[in-house]
Amino acid sequence: MAVIATPVDPPARTPIWAQLYVQVLVAIVAGALIGHIWPATGVELKPLGDAFIKLVKMIIAPVIFLTIVTGIAGMKDLAKVGGVAAKAFAYFFTVSTFALVVGMVVANVFQPGAGMGIDPATLDATAVQDYAAKSHDMTIVGFLMEIIPTTVAGAFVDGNILQVLFFAIPFGLALAMTGERGEPALAVLNSVGAAFFKLVAIFMKAAPIGAFGAFAFTIGRYGIGSVVDLIKLVGAFYLTSLFFVLVVLGAIARLTGFSILKLIRYLKEELLLVLGTSSSEAALPSLMEKLERAGAAKPVVGLVVPTGYSFNLDGTNIYMTLASLFIAQAVGIELSLSEQLLLLAVAMLSSKGAAGVTGAGFITLAATLTVVPSVPVAGMALILGVDRFMSECRALTNFIGNAVATLVVSRWEGALDRDALARALDGPSGPVAVRAVEADAD
């Protein structure tokens, strides 16, 4: 038997103008130009972005339900379900806590708010009243009670990811326990799931329109100039998030056996969509499909990705400690180590349940500051104007973090197809395929 390296013919390339990530990138640039040159027109384009996000959110609940139920019901060893969940939450807690610490360290070292000398009495508290009001509902008991839907249909009607998870997991277990009698139902759900992912592909064709409208609104409403006054905070946040992704998540990825840069390239369409809409939920169904294609086991994808959207928010965690300390520095309040540790603990709890949608990070920041009286909630008015620009970075970091978490947990479970992962991340330009052919001894 001789092993001969033979090149594999690459698949026919899609014209560059027809590739989704190129279309989204062009749409973002066009939206930014419209918003900057004609701000009023940019603001009026907001419904385009809102409509696309609603379109995707419409199918998120059934996609998650079908993925989880078919994944769990198809598992032969149901004890593995608990193992996957335990490993996922261990990862979430460890990495999320590290993200909070990173944000805190950067704020203390670089002190982006130092020297601003803002008098707290001059701050306009009314500007953040709505966010503060919403934050009062984010108690631990309230959060836990909110996980349980009032009715089965209610979880799907409200589109609450955690409520759908709460119903889908036990339903998948119940279907698995029915044995052969459940096979017809499982076959139907698999077929329906395939149809829903085809629907995702259809809806994603509208992504450039959504990104165009959303970005035109952001620039038209807030203006690029609004970043200038708070450039130290925005710059510190973006650089910290970049460090976290490339160094921290990069190291985790390397230990798992893949490159973070190749993963980012593989998910470029979804990342540009997140950038354009400031919402990681807009790319959730597509992320689940791509991770399965990259070799992650379907049950692991079904459990880790939706759960991570509420419990593994690395970008939001970096933002909360960094923004909290920025506000304290800006108003001249020096927090002791014990107060900063209290802030970190509260932020760890309040960040849970913040879905990857625009504004959620700001609301969780309000929830954190209401529990830590040392820092005035009214200080949030200082960063209100640039929060939208930081929202995009939060969503991108959260998105990449959940992709890495899914591959890591799949590896821990021994359910990661390394060959599929290599094919996905290397792409058509990857290593030459090698196939074994029998050679005659003569």
Query: How far, in Å, CA of 15 to CA of 310, rounded?
Result: 37
Q: Provide the whole-model pTM.
A: 0.73
Closest CA to 401 of 248, 237, 200: 248
**Confidence at residue 256, expressed as pLDDT on a 0 to 100 scale:** 92
**Cβ within 8 Å of residue 255, ≥6 positions away:** none
Closest CA to 239 of 137, 106, 369: 106
Is residue 355's pLDDT more than 50? no
**Cβ within 8 Å of residue 171, ≥6 positions away:** 69
Query: How far, in Å, CA of 325 to CA of 348, rounded?
Result: 15
Query: How far, in Å, CA of 162 to CA of 98, rounded?
Result: 24
| Mean local confidence (pLDDT), 200-216 | 83
Question: pLDDT tens digits for 389-439?
Answer: 788 888 899 999 999 999 999 999 888 999 999 999 987 544 433 333 333
- Specify whether the CB–CB gap between 55 and 293 falls below 8 A: no
Interhelix angle 207-222/384-412, nearest 10 degrees: 140
Query: How far, in Å, CA of 253 to CA of 262, rounded?
Result: 10
Closest CA to 131 of 383, 331, 306: 383
Mean pLDDT of the chain: 78
- Specify whether the CB–CB gap between 213 and 48 falls below 8 A: yes
Task: State which amino acid sits at residue 240.
Answer: T
Query: How far, in Å, CA of 377 to CA of 265, rounded?
Result: 39
The DSSP result for 422-435, as a single string, is HHHHH-TTSPPPEE
Give the tokens for residue 114: 């130092």
Q: How confident is the model at residue 225 (pLDDT cuts 50, 70, 90)?
A: low
Is residue 370's pLDDT more than 70? no
The DSSP result for 271-335, as a single string, is HHHHHHHT-GGGGHHHHHHHHHHTTB-HHHHHHHHHHHHHH--HHHHHHHHHHHHHHHHHTT---
- Specify whether the CB–CB gap between 168 and 147 falls below 8 A: no
Task: State which amino acid sits at residue 298.
Answer: K
Domain boundaries, the chain: 2-19+83-159+225-437
Query: How far, in Å, CA of 292 to CA of 424, rounded?
Result: 10
**Confidence at residue 360, expressed as pLDDT on a 0 to 100 scale:** 58
**Cβ within 8 Å of residue 247, ≥6 positions away:** none
Q: At 159, is the secondary structure helix, strand, or coil?
A: coil
Report which DSSP code applies to 225.
Answer: G
| Phi, psi dihedrals of residue 434, rounded to the nearest 5° | -120, 130
Question: pLDDT tens digits for 52-81?
Answer: 878 877 887 888 788 778 877 776 666 677
Closest CA to 209 of 359, 389, 60, 53: 53
Please report which helix (H) or strand (E) contains residue 3, including its range.
strand 2-5
The topology (CATH level 3) of 2-19+83-159+225-437 is Proton glutamate symport protein (1.10.3860)
Query: How far, in Å, CA of 370 to CA of 323, rounded?
Result: 14
**Confidence at residue 122, expressed as pLDDT on a 0 to 100 scale:** 59
Is residue 38's pLDDT more than 60? yes
Report which DSSP code applies to 7.
Answer: P
- Specify whether the CB–CB gap between 274 and 280 falls below 8 A: yes
Q: At 437, is the secondary structure helix, strand, or coil?
A: strand
Give the tokens for residue 68: 């989880």
**Confidence at residue 142, expressed as pLDDT on a 0 to 100 scale:** 61
Lowest mean per-residue pLDDT among 129-138, 268-277, 295-304, 340-349: 129-138
Question: pLDDT tens digits for 77-130?
Answer: 666 777 888 898 899 989 988 999 999 999 898 888 777 666 666 555 555 555
Query: How far, in Å, CA of 278 to CA of 390, rounded?
Result: 9
Share of the chain above pLDDT 90, in %: 18
Report which DSSP code applies to 120.
Answer: G
Query: How far, in Å, CA of 263 to CA of 271, rounded?
Result: 11
